[in-house]
Amino acid sequence: MQRAGKFDLGARFTAIFGSLEKRLIGALLLIVLSICALQVISQDRAIRLRSESETLRVAASNAEQAEQLVKIVAQFRLTTHLYLTPGQETDVAHTASELTDAAMRIGEQLNLLRISGMKLYDLPQDMGAFADIDQHVSAIIATGRADAPATATALEARNARMAALANAIEETAGAEREEAFQQLSHSTSNWQLLVTIVGAITIAVVLLILVDLLRNILPALRRMHAALRRLADGELDFEVEEFHLHELNALSGSLETFRRNAQAVKSLAFTDPSTGMPNRRAFAERATARLAAASGEGDDRFVVILADVDRFKHVNDDYGHAAGDRLVKLIGERMADHLGEDAIIARVGGDEFAICVALGQGRAAAMLGADLAVAVRRPFDLGGFSAIVTLSLGIVETCGGEAECDVAVLLNRADLALYASKNGGRNRTTCFVAELEEERELNRALERDLAHAFEEGQLRMVYQPIHAIGGDEQEVEALVRWRHPQLGDISPARFIPAAERSGLMVQLGHWIVERALRDLARWPGLTMSINLSPLQLQQDGFVGMLLERCGQHGITPQRVILEVTENLSIERNTRALLTLTLLRNAGFRIALDDFGTGYSSLCMMKTFRFDRLKLDRSLICDLGKDTTSQAVFDAAVTMALRIGAEVVAEGISDEGLVEPVRSAGCTHVQGFHYSRPIEAADVQGYYGAQGAMRRKVA
């Protein structure tokens, strides 16, 4: 029970003095109470002093009156004594007048003393000594005339009693005056003492409040203000302290909750939620700090790398996004193990990483990227199955320092290098060079100018003949060309990607289809191949549009062969596969272009039955020189023929390639050896020389 009492006392003390509000209110109340007490004491003492001062005044007046009484009585006695002394010659009338005046004055003094409130009846002497003083005066006058010694003696005795009584009155008045003075002095001293005590208490309270304010409240407020400033400045890596003051402690609790929530939000803002890796924002902040801290000299060399997982979409499609996120996390961990703990690695896209790492002395940036790509190529265990991936890398080198710590610029340059790696066939490393920026500016210019090319007639169609081996079929492939007013002829390999990036591919595709079908309508009996973009196959209403255009120009679908490339990945694109199926059912023939340039060609052949395969020139250029190339080419042709597809050998550039492709079983040939792309006006004239051309093909 005793412990509980102590606990309750401590809790009560904390409840009262632990509150800033109660502290301030209590301090103000103490000060007010002290001032009120001082005022009450001062008022009370002032009233008392006023009363005691009045008492002293009255006592002093009484003492003065008593002194006058003593003097008058003494004068009365002296006059009486001289008058009654035998042998003295006195003027009776004068003496009588003096005694009468003295008697009257004695009466006046006694009356004044009575009026002032002096209690004469409390005196031990008989007040009768002053009774009938007029008769006493008469008795004295009469006795002096009669010369009666006995009577004179009696009169002198009464005068003596009067003198004793006057002296007693004087002593009493003096004592009362002294007592009043002592009382006034005592009250004044008490007043000063009380004022001093209350003032000291007030000063002590003020000093106590000031000490509490300076040592406890203000430092706590300063610490709270510092915490608020740190939070306002965005600093979250600290803990808001607890305070003894209830109000500040409640506020600190709220601030700590806010800090933790803000830290969690910041963590989300700076962390990839799927893998827990730093994101692009975190990379920019950390890389900027790392590069800014460098000296900027040649000894401090860094590389900023953008790494893209090749064909990562296939992993998501085949195994699910959870497996894809798991793979990304494993790739990040392997990169960290390979590059070391000082490397900054972040996930900046679905399959893209940003890396900032110091480049050791004598080490080349390209070699670091190549080693990293080799490390990532090792299989990853995803639980029940493994995955092997490759990386495309873009690298930019920097010395750091304030002048070169703009991470956005470095990432932009690394992205240009990465784009070059992807265009170069993926699974490779490209270091940034200034020419990449020039090429980017050119691509941007092409994207801007392509929109005007339609309006200003800068686009045109040309046609390259395709010859059937041992047949009479006449066929051309429609190819678009762009003659730029400043840059001249632009290769389709440049402006087709520009159209896809700028969103103009659908418009360009419509223009190509319309122009090619319009030209085909002028060439009865001719077959035409038209290249399609993957974007066109995913466009709503494309099949209906193509059939409508063929109907407007009087062209049957059987005269049109539609070419797609393996970049379409129809085995993963159900919409494109459905579009191709509808087109084939409508009578169009479907050809797979650039067969052999990637691993997905075989998968596409398994998913969709193509009417024609166009073998890429990379399979043909070494025929007749390399037996391995011939074997691969023969196998590709045999496979195509086995599935019932026609085989077109592209890139026949000289006579030496004709026999190998003919002996392998190709059904069609195409290349500069037969004809370069020709203008639309020359197509009919070209096929007018049928005899010579047939002998050349046969």
pLDDT in tens, 449-475: 888 888 888 999 999 999 999 888 899
Between residues 8 and 314, the one the model is more confident about:
314
Between residues 400 and 663, the one the model is more confident about:
663
* The pLDDT of residue 241: 81
Residue 565 in contact with residue 594, Cβ under 8 Å? yes
pTM of the model: 0.58
Residue 383 phi/psi, 5-degree rounding, is 80, 95
| Mean pLDDT value across residues 100-111 | 84
pLDDT, averaged across the chain: 83
Cα within 13 Å of Cα(466), Cβ side: 22
Q: For residue 146, name the pLDDT band (cuts at 50, 70, 90).
A: low
| Residue 14 CA: distances (Å) to CA of 50, 208, 594 | 47, 17, 85
Q: Copy the structure tokens of residue 108.
A: 């006046």
Would you list the DSSP string of 118-140? --GGGSSS-GGGGTTHHHHHHHH
For the ranges 178-187, 192-201, 686-695, the lowest mean pLDDT is seen at 686-695
Q: Parallel, antiparallel, or unpaired for β 488-490 and 474-484?
A: antiparallel
* The pLDDT of residue 679: 93
**Radius of gyration over every alpha carbon of the chain, rounded to an integer in angstroms:** 63
Q: For residue 4, name the pLDDT band (cuts at 50, 70, 90).
A: very low
Query: What structural domains and CATH numbers belong to the chain?
Result: 46-188 (1.20.120), 280-432 (3.30.70.270), 505-697 (3.20.20.450)
* The pLDDT of residue 586: 94
Q: For residue 124, name the pLDDT band (cuts at 50, 70, 90).
A: low
| Mean pLDDT value across residues 71-86 | 82
pLDDT of 317 over the 90 cut: no
Would you list the DSSP string of 522-580? TSTTEEEEEE--HHHHTSTTHHHHHHHHHHHTT--GGGEEEEEEGGG-TTT-HHHHHHH
Residue 139 in contact with residue 133, Cβ under 8 Å? no
DSSP state of 271: B
pLDDT tens sequence across 80-96: 887 777 666 667 788 78
Find residue 351's DSSP bridge partners. Answer: none
Q: For residue 597, name the pLDDT band (cuts at 50, 70, 90).
A: low
CA–CA dist 592, 563 (Å, integer) = 6
* The pLDDT of residue 532: 92
* Count of residues in the chain: 698
pLDDT tens sequence across 575-584: 888 899 999 9
CA–CA dist 80, 153 (Å, integer) = 11
pLDDT tens sequence across 478-503: 999 999 888 889 888 888 888 888 88
Residue 105 phi/psi, 5-degree rounding, is -65, -40
- 169 contacts: CB under 8 Å, gap ≥ 6: 66, 69, 70, 113, 118, 120, 123
pLDDT tens sequence across 321-361: 888 888 999 999 999 999 888 899 999 888 899 999 988 77
* The pLDDT of residue 7: 47
Cβ-based burial of 367 (10 A; exposed 0-12, middle 13-18, buried ≥19): exposed
* The pLDDT of residue 5: 46
Q: Copy the structure tokens of residue 53.
A: 């001062």
Q: For residue 1, name the pLDDT band (cuts at 50, 70, 90).
A: very low
pLDDT tens sequence across 383-417: 878 888 999 999 998 887 655 568 888 989 999 99
Q: For residue 552, name the pLDDT band (cuts at 50, 70, 90).
A: very high
Q: Copy the structure tokens of residue 528.
A: 């035409």
| Mean pLDDT value across residues 655-659 | 87
Between residues 146 and 258, the one the model is more confident about:
258
Q: Copy the structure tokens of residue 476.
A: 């051309």
* The pLDDT of residue 466: 94
pLDDT tens sequence across 252-270: 888 888 888 887 777 777 7
Between residues 558 and 419, the one the model is more confident about:
558
| Mean pLDDT value across residues 26-39 | 83
Residue type, 45: R
* The pLDDT of residue 2: 46
Q: Hey, which bits of 311-377 come out as E strands?
A: 344-347, 352-358
Q: Copy the structure tokens of residue 678.
A: 């020709």
* The pLDDT of residue 513: 95
Residue 566 in contact with residue 594, Cβ under 8 Å? yes
* The pLDDT of residue 599: 52
CB atoms inside a 10 Å sphere around CB 201 = 15
CA–CA dist 500, 351 (Å, integer) = 21
* The pLDDT of residue 479: 95
Residues of the chain with pLDDT > 70, as a percent, come to 90
Q: For residue 145, name the pLDDT band (cuts at 50, 70, 90).
A: low
| Mean pLDDT value across residues 555-576 | 80
